[in-house]
A and B are shown apart, each in its own frame.
Chain A
Amino acid sequence: MDLLEHIAATIKDLRVNYNSGEGLSQDALAKQLKVAPNTISRWETGTYCPSVTDVERISRFFGVSMMAFMPPEMIGKEEDENLKALLRTARQLHPADLEELQKYAEFRRARGIYQGKTRPKAGRKGGKHK
């Protein structure tokens, strides 16, 4: 699944299962996010790709990590470990600040994925070892 499809499916899934399965209408979500009602539909059908800032706002609204919107194969174990290692060094921070810093670090990582800045993984097509 590519990035656009994965984001579209995740938004829909979160919306439909919102509040323990009660769900949320597209209009209600649009109101919460202060976007036009048809924007949600376009995001969910993959007509438009939400910006990385939109994804951050959506993740904040649903209380999930931004990484949930990124296809697992794009995150990579190494990047995930890097993120955790970065935050381990900041564990002396106030818990609220640590949480916000984690959100920022995830935003930064997600932006990197959006911009195609992820490091090539070993063993990929075109790599040294075929």
Chain B
Amino acid sequence: MNTQQYYEDLKLLARQVRAEHGLTSPRVLLGDLRRIYAHYGIEVDEWPYRFRNLRGAFINDDLGATVMLAKGLPQDPMVFTMAHELKHYFRDRHLGISYCDQSNLKKSLEIGAEIFAAELLFPDRDFISHMSAMRIRQEQCLPKTLIELKRKTGTTLSYAGLAIKAERLGYAPSHSLTTIKTWRRLEALYSPPVRRPTPARFQI
């Protein structure tokens, strides 16, 4: 199996997991992943101490399969890390330990885990149908499009994940979205103005 086939196989696996566990939208929550973990008997530990770069680790030995999650991850990165570690459970259990930080992100096992996680949270075909519903054609996807997509679907896949997907599927030119580091600022910029509720008037 070449690398491309390996990645496609992981996407297929992610779609199977979604189907088996009733995940029907791109909004996959921590509770969904906890339920999937419980189904496979994977223990989850949220380690109450901080790491510099490490987001999570998967350990499988005579004590069973355990995923350690770093403290302080916001909800979306936490969901993504849990999805990422789930791939290690399915495919890399024999390795004993897999960890996820900046130093090993270019290894095919880790790239595979990222692809699996992105497909588990937001399958490519769902992304394509949303793009089509939004009338976005090839190379037309702008930062604003992804902000609108995230708002509309409530997806827990991060902007970075959505940007990779949009470029890989040809909806945006290479490096046009994945180089953006200021998604939160852009999100605020493109958000509809917040209407402050008019203060209730006291009736005398």
Binding site for B on A (CB under 8 A): 79, 82, 85-87, 89-90, 92-94, 96-97, 100-101, 103-105, 108-109, 112, 117-119
- Determine chain A's interface SS by DSSP, over half rule: helix
CA distance A82 to B63 in the complex (A): 11
B19 at the A interface (CB under 8 A): no
Asked if residues A100 and B103 are in contact (CB atoms below 8 Å), the reply is no
- Give every chain B residue within 8 A of A108 (Cβ-Cβ): 45, 59, 63, 66, 68
Instruction: Give the residue name and chain of the A residue nearest to B95 (CB).
Output: A89
- Give every chain B residue within 8 A of A96 (Cβ-Cβ): 51-52
CA distance A96 to B104 in the complex (A): 16
Asked if residues A86 and B52 are in contact (CB atoms below 8 Å), the reply is no
Asked if residues A79 and B62 are in contact (CB atoms below 8 Å), the reply is yes
5 A-B contact pairs sorted by A residue (CB < 8 Å)? A96-B51, A103-B49, A108-B68, A112-B63, A117-B64
- Give every chain B residue within 8 A of A85 (Cβ-Cβ): 96
CA distance A104 to B47 in the complex (A): 7
**Minimum CB–CB distance for B162 against chain A, Å:** 28
Q: How many A-B residue pairs have CB under 8 A?
A: 64
CA distance A103 to B63 in the complex (A): 16
B38 at the A interface (CB under 8 A): no
B99 in complex: contacting residue of A101, A109, A117, CB < 8 Å? A101
**Minimum CB–CB distance for A78 against chain B, Å:** 8
Asked if residues A90 and B62 are in contact (CB atoms below 8 Å), the reply is no
- Give every chain A residue within 8 A of B47 (Cβ-Cβ): 100, 104
B54 at the A interface (CB under 8 A): yes
CA distance A41 to B195 in the complex (A): 60
Asked if residues B63 and A117 are in contact (CB atoms below 8 Å), the reply is yes
Asked if residues A93 and B45 are in contact (CB atoms below 8 Å), the reply is no
Asked if residues A97 and B52 are in contact (CB atoms below 8 Å), the reply is yes
- Give every chain A residue within 8 A of B64 (Cβ-Cβ): 117
A97-B62 contact in complex given A89-B97, A90-B97, C-beta closer than 8 Å: no
A97-B54 contact in complex given A86-B96, A90-B97, A103-B49, C-beta closer than 8 Å: yes
Interface residues of B in 95-109 (CB under 8 A from A): 95-97, 99, 101, 103-104
- Give every chain A residue within 8 A of B66 (Cβ-Cβ): 108
Asked if residues A104 and B57 are in contact (CB atoms below 8 Å), the reply is yes
Asked if residues A92 and B63 are in contact (CB atoms below 8 Å), the reply is no
B4 at the A interface (CB under 8 A): no
Asked if residues A92 and B62 are in contact (CB atoms below 8 Å), the reply is no
**Minimum CB–CB distance for A87 against chain B, Å:** 8
**Minimum CB–CB distance for A84 against chain B, Å:** 11
- Give every chain B residue within 8 A of A104 (Cβ-Cβ): 45, 47, 57, 68
Name the 10 nearest CB pairs between A and B, nearest first: A112-B63, A97-B54, A86-B97, A92-B103, A97-B51, A119-B62, A94-B52, A104-B47, A90-B99, A97-B52
- Give every chain B residue within 8 A of A103 (Cβ-Cβ): 49
- Give every chain B residue within 8 A of A89 (Cβ-Cβ): 95-97
CA distance A112 to B104 in the complex (A): 29
